[in-house]
Amino acid sequence: MSSRETVQLVATRELRERSREKSFLISTTVNIVIIVAVIILAAILGGGETTYKVAGDPALIQAAARAASGTDIHVEEVPVTTDLRAALEDGSIDAAVQNGRIIAKDNPPDDLVALLQAGNNRNVKAPAPLQITTIEPVDKDADAKSGYTFFMVLILYGQLLTYGYWVAAGVVEEKASRVVEVVLSAIRPAQLLAGKVIGLGLLGLGNLLLIVAVGLGAAGATGALTIDGTVLGAAVLALAWFVVGYAFYACAFAVAGALVSRQEDLQSTMTPLTLTILVSFFLSFAVRDNPDGLLANILAFIPMTAPLTVPPRIATGDVPAWEIVASLAVTIGAAVALIPLAARIYSGGILRTGSALKLREAWRAARA
């Protein structure tokens, strides 16, 4: 049997056995139900109670506030001492009204614009409609996209953790049941590792594809998001980033599994990895707030953080193509470099039973 066939055989088993597990079917169903429910609920409930902070012409703002009375929208006047532009940029006000113009950061909310126009109509005898000026280019889907990127990061985070954990747990299951001894009397450790990682990775990718398709379908159907080339492109890139991020983390999770003999001990060796993913997850929020910042640019070139911090920037269109390519290359390069190291530590640890091994011990044990 060729090495490729062996890897394929192992991968097929992983894919088949895992997808037949009840827990997998249940969690997939639950995920999809939650995504559809959130998108539909968001469409039904709309904005809910909203308070807009507006600076500028006091008479106009008060008129708008009166027009809003009786609705669940409130308009609040905020005195701005510093320059308006900075206040709009940092989000401390939603809009400013001045000299017959509404100034906003990007696309001002429609209901606010309507209220301000109404206020303007009451205050002025022969009203000229207020002009809208924005300080950043208008993206009418910006809010939806922001929500969409939040989901995207959340799902990528969940997938990396879940499938990484499955790799580690699968390795421990083989060790604990000693079936690994039988398997390794027929095939090589690197083939087993590769088959396991590829099989579960394909399952994760298929699962993600389903989630993305359902999510985009629901968002498109409810009108929450206009499905265009940019959105689809971003979705495809998110899938690509899952593959790359998973390749990087899965090898590390396999090592974490190979170091212990019992599921109870797995938590201890997996913690550094789950923490790294968790930190990347939180960093991705900082990046969302400031997608062009220095932090965002640095994190794109760290293999551990790139898989969770680059995709949301791609979705909002805040990252140049060269940077996407370069950061993909860095992460792929790191994964490729990690694979032989992981394979060696894995083969050193996979047959050692008893208490948890140290990385160095497993490395040395694999000398033969």
Q: Which residues bind another protein (CB under 8 A)?
A: 1, 6, 9, 13, 17, 21, 173-174, 177-179, 181-188, 351, 368
CB nearer another protein, residue 1 or residue 138: 1
| Shortest distance (Å) from residue 311 CB to another protein | 33
Cα–Cα distance, 47 to 20 (Å, whole number): 41
| 50: β partners | 73
Q: How far is CA 2 from CA 6, 7, 190, 201, 213, in A?
A: 6, 9, 13, 21, 36
Q: Which residue has the tokens 């690197």?
A: 190
- The tokens for 147 are 């929500």
Q: How far is CA 312 from CA 70, 162, 234, 345, 357, in A?
A: 38, 20, 8, 34, 38
- On the 0-12 / 13-18 / 19+ scale of CB atoms within 10 A, 254 is buried
CB nearer another protein, residue 267 or residue 353: 353
CB nearer another protein, residue 115 or residue 258: 258
| Shortest distance (Å) from residue 184 CB to another protein | 5
Cα–Cα distance, 235 to 59 (Å, whole number): 46
With a CB cutoff of 8 Å and minimum separation 6, the contacts of 334 are 248, 303
| Shortest distance (Å) from residue 365 CB to another protein | 9
CB nearer another protein, residue 40 or residue 351: 351
CB nearer another protein, residue 124 or residue 187: 187
| Shortest distance (Å) from residue 7 CB to another protein | 12
Cα–Cα distance, 102 to 86 (Å, whole number): 15
| Shortest distance (Å) from residue 211 CB to another protein | 25
CB nearer another protein, residue 77 or residue 265: 265
Q: What's at 212, amino acid-wise?
A: V
Cα–Cα distance, 105 to 298 (Å, whole number): 26
| Shortest distance (Å) from residue 269 CB to another protein | 20
